[in-house]
Amino acid sequence: MTRETFEELVSQALDRIPPELTRVMDNVAVFVEDEPPADDPELLGLYEGTPLTDRGEWYAGVLPDRITIYRGPTLRRCETTDEVVHEVAVTVIHEIAHHFGIDDDRLHELGWG
């Protein structure tokens, strides 16, 4: 799958986020990278930043939070295009949930592991 096609899948997954949630997302940017850091080669996505639930009056003038979706491990994990579409959607939702302050344990409980 080309990078362009993969980026389109990420865009489509973002478009599926309900407007009432996207309206409250703040100071966050989404990127696609080919590979994750070498110390975690199977990582599908990564959220880096300060979750909305942890921001206080001090939060101003900071760089945007960063959500990165990794193409290589996603494509290696999936056997079909349909699986890639599903995995990208799950990964995007998972990382956006971190932006909202939902941790991995809770995501696993909800089935978004």
Q: Per-10-residue mean pLDDT for the chain, 113 residues long?
A: 97 94 91 97 96 85 93 97 97 94 86 73
* pLDDT at residue 104 in the model: 85
CB 32 within 8 A of CB 91: no
Strand, coil or helix: 48:
strand
* pLDDT at residue 62 in the model: 84
Strand, coil or helix: 15:
helix
Quote the CA–CA distance of 4 and 9 in Å, as a whole number.
9
* pLDDT at residue 3 in the model: 96
31 vs 28, 53, 54, 56, CA distance in Å? 10, 22, 22, 25
Residue in this structure with the two tokens 């409250």, named with its chain if needed:
24
* pLDDT at residue 82 in the model: 97
